[in-house]
Structure 1
């Protein structure tokens, strides 16, 4: 049975996944450590987020703080690798993560850099239950690590304000993704610790789109992301066969 067909349960927490990332928490801000791939990945995903926020909310990209006044939520924020640059762009940022150690690391780093970011060790479904909503909800490389994907995606959608955006980034369930994102990245290149990903939990773009539209959102953009070894950087691409991102909005004001 596919993830999109699973029945609702009370939580999205996968204890094994939480333990896995808690064990690596001390390395979040080490660009040469276990989270090196995310540090490499950050520029392309941050650029995509910024571009769509500027366009959607009619902001001037030449301003020093073009995202001033926008409330952004990063679900599964880890050590805050996306929260901090978004806060520097002027956004009011909230970061949540089910792993308390991740939140502790994120808070400490934000304090050291003088950034005011609201961090909380909680889940998307718990936050959604409070009725809080945001101008943008980020769901970045998280959906493949949770239990009960339908509940998780619903809670993320519920957190989007009318007229707001949400971005989902994840890995496609293809043989190429299994070869490169799991076998090569974990076992050959050692970019990631062995066991970081379970290919069976990857979702296809169509499955993500179904979950987004089921929860009242409208897909507005999509892109693949590919690694260019000669340039040593990730770039947007039409190829969504491995890594991809899907943008959606909630209709309304």
Structure 2
């Protein structure tokens, strides 16, 4: 058992300070609200989640977890930012979202408590905020059932992503609060693929995400040079 949490206190404080803004559609988390339908449609297209046991790792204020529950999944959202979790719980109560629960627990601790408990695990926009992303991938692989799916999204680490995701998004377009992302923590697709291979997660699909600042529209494409998504599957129980 690890003796230290795989979390950056400054990152947790940052998202806790913004917790009350999670469900403000025009606030700091507007991009998450805008990309959420794209993420959900992609996940649901590869692995229909209705009736499935789904874990959302690093769920924050519950934007994706809430949407997946409304699609008929049995959803557990976990995070270490307590204020954000309380916002997620309050939103679920106010919106009367069925079949969603939230826990303040690390993914590594939950992997020890409930191995192979979930049909689907999602870990979106989180790997670039933790000290050890490989540890998160390893825990996600432990939590999913054989044949189950694990979905990741994160930011590539290269000059283009620095210009677009940090300089552009945070300082020019003000899409995100300044300091949201740290270049050194971004994860190259080759690195994430290696983490997945090391824990027997087979890469099934990749997507990139693009944004037009004039139309304020996001869409999925094949360009993984900045924002990208991975769909992986654990072998077993009829997986391809």
Q: Using structure 2 for the length normalisation, give the TM-score.
A: 0.94
Shift of 1:153: 1.5
Separation in 2, partners of 1:202, 1:189: 20
Residue 67 (structure 2) aligned to one of 69, 85, 88:
85
Tell me the residue number matched to 2:108: 125
- Is 1:184 the counterpart of 2:168 in the alignment? yes
RMSD: 1.3
Q: Deviations over 1:23-80 (max 9, x none)?
A: 00000000101101111111211111111113xxxxxxxxxxxx33201110000111
User: What SS is found at the alignment partner of 1:82?
Assistant: helix
Separation in 2, partners of 1:194, 1:42: 21
Q: How many positions carry a matched residue from both structures?
A: 234
- Is 1:113 the counterpart of 2:113 in the alignment? no
Q: Deviations over 1:123-170 (max 9, x none)?
A: 100100103421111010000001122212111111111010001100
Tell me the residue number matched to 1:153: 137
Residue 99 (structure 1) aligned to one of 68, 78, 81:
81
Q: Using structure 1 for the length normalisation, give the TM-score.
A: 0.89
After TM superposition, the runs of 4+ consecutive aligned structure 1 residues lying more than 2 A away are 8-11, 228-232
Consecutive unaligned residues in structure 2, runs of 5 or more:
none
Consecutive unaligned residues in structure 1, runs of 5 or more:
1-7, 55-66
- Is 1:46 the counterpart of 2:40 in the alignment? yes
Separation in 1, partners of 2:10, 2:207: 30
Separation in 2, partners of 1:9, 1:181: 33
| Preserved contact between residue 11 and residue 148 of structure 1 (Cα < 8 Å) | no
| Preserved contact between residue 87 and residue 117 of structure 1 (Cα < 8 Å) | yes
Tell me the residue number matched to 1:13: 7
- Is 1:22 the counterpart of 2:4 in the alignment? no
